[in-house]
A = this chain, B = another copy of it.
Amino acid sequence: MTAEVVSVGTELLLGQTVDTHAATMARILADCGISCMRRTTVGDNLERIVEVLKGALGRADLVVTIGGLGPTSDDLTREGIAAALHDELEHVAAYEERLRKMTAFRKLPWIESLAKQADRPTCGRFVANPNGSAPGLICEKNGKTVIALPGPKNEFNPMADGPVREYLEQLQGSQVIHSRILRVCGMGESQVEEKIRPLLDGENPTVAPYAHPGEVHLRVTARAKSREEANRLIDPIHEQIQAVLGDALFGTDSTTLEQSVVDLLRDTGSTVAIAESMTGGSLGERLTNVPGASDAFAGGVIAYLPSAKIGLLGVAPELLAEYGPVSREVAEAMACLVRAELDTTYGVSITGNAGPTADVDRKPVGLVYIGVAGPAGCEVSESQFRGQRDEIRRRTTQAALVALRHTLLCASRG
């Protein structure tokens, strides 16, 4: 089975948006064993959309379109698909009813243009959109299939990776290409590659490393008759990598580092409170992005200015005066004080300089202290990160999670 992907949007042709969805869709097609032969991007112009779709349908069994499903006048994909399939649009009154209810529920005014999102080709059915009003489409006609997905990321991603992936797996039947991502923290890409080098030459499964800020992901990919068989091929490779990398391997697939930390806290019946300075809430943001974080995370303090370190946390003004806010001593005080104040098992603190300029004490950009206070005392680590402000902040919250995870693993081994 062959496929083509068609991205619709003038903003893509003008280079104002990078087409990451096309890559996501391509990966999903590859996972399902469907060969993607071509990808085309076309602007918001009905004639050209129809021309591109007809070309793609002439060559491929399946065409996936991305974008152009919204309510505005330059959203033309629905019309384009109907024309390319020699079909017509029908208005689904029941769906308009749903749209009206949804709009009322969100306390937004009803606007007539919203109604066109209830149109679909007669050969099509809707794919539910959990995060928006424009539904996706699956259209089947004369042995060809067209799938249409909306462009906004938070709408596209769950639909592509959920119902569309399931539909494609079913469509494809026999061969699957299945991957498992093994996620590694606290080690650089070349260090990981050095340790697992013999595994990099395998053919089925293959192992490929990808560097991410503060993490390395190993993609283990197997071809097999079923997902179960692919998993049986992947399991022994997973075990070998686990044996070599140990604690550095923190999770698989979509498990984030913050998820693995919250899991560890819960498993050990522990809780944590945080005191952030330079990261301004980023660590809290990551921890509370885990559903059910409230079992393990109590809260904390964003002690951005020295006055907040003193007023909210009770850091001694003399300590700040003597060592400066970016110091080992202040990191230790912050971790211990927030732990005591919220009566949690652990306290984590972050203080540092994210830039863009050296701070008042001439502490260099990227200098960071992270404190972890717990029943066994407080440890402070010093790091010097490079990069832009957001990069330094990201690496800092990553390092704080790695430090807390390390303390939790040590504690759980007694």
Interface residues of A (CB under 8 A from B): 10-20, 22-30, 36-44, 48, 52, 55, 70-74, 102, 105-109, 111, 113-114, 130-131, 152, 154, 158, 177, 179, 181, 188-191, 193-194, 200, 208-213, 219, 221, 273-274, 276, 278-285, 287-289, 291, 293-294, 297-305, 307-309, 311-312, 341-343, 354-356, 383-391, 393
B37 with A289: CB separation less than 8 A: no
Identify 24 residue pairs between A and B in the complex whose beta-carbon atoms are under 8 Å apart, listed by A's number. A14-B30, A15-B30, A16-B23, A37-B42, A40-B41, A55-B55, A72-B189, A109-B191, A130-B387, A154-B390, A276-B284, A280-B288, A281-B285, A284-B285, A285-B285, A289-B393, A294-B305, A297-B304, A299-B308, A299-B312, A300-B304, A301-B312, A302-B302, A307-B342
Could you say which residues of chain B place their CB within 8 Å of the CB of A276?
281, 284
Max count, chain B CB within 10 A of own CB: residue among A15, A40, A301, A390: A15
The verdict on A131 contacting B72 (CB below 8 Å), with A26-B12, A38-B52 known, is no
CA distance A304 to B302 in the complex (A): 13
The verdict on A40 contacting B43 (CB below 8 Å), with A280-B288, A285-B282, A387-B130 known, is no
Could you say which residues of chain B place their CB within 8 Å of the CB of A23?
12, 15-19
Select A341's contact among B39, B55, B311, beta carbons within 8 Å.
Answer: B311
Could you say which residues of chain B place their CB within 8 Å of the CB of A43?
37
Q: How far is the CB of A386 from chain B (nearest CB, A)?
A: 6
When all copies of this chain in the complex are counted, the total is: 2
CA distance A329 to B280 in the complex (A): 26
A190 with B12: CB separation less than 8 A: no
With A12-B23, A282-B285 already in contact, 13 other A-B pairs whose C-beta atoms are closer than 8 Å = A12-B39, A15-B29, A16-B179, A39-B41, A55-B55, A276-B281, A279-B285, A281-B300, A284-B284, A284-B285, A291-B356, A297-B305, A300-B308
A311 with B280: CB separation less than 8 A: no
Could you say which residues of chain B place their CB within 8 Å of the CB of A189?
70-72
Select A299's contact among B14, B71, B305, beta carbons within 8 Å.
Answer: B305
Q: How far is the CB of A131 from chain B (nearest CB, A)?
A: 4
CA distance A389 to B130 in the complex (A): 12
CA distance A386 to B131 in the complex (A): 7
Which residue of chain B is the closest to A108 with respect to CB atoms? B188
B37 with A48: CB separation less than 8 A: yes
B158 with A388: CB separation less than 8 A: yes
A294 with B304: CB separation less than 8 A: yes
Select A131's contact among B25, B291, B388, beta carbons within 8 Å.
Answer: B388
A298 with B289: CB separation less than 8 A: no
CA distance A387 to B133 in the complex (A): 11
B15 with A25: CB separation less than 8 A: yes
Could you say which residues of chain B place their CB within 8 Å of the CB of A14?
26-27, 30, 36, 177, 179, 221
Could you say which residues of chain B place their CB within 8 Å of the CB of A312?
299-301, 312, 341-342
B41 with A13: CB separation less than 8 A: no
Which residue of chain B is the closest to A206 with respect to CB atoms? B10
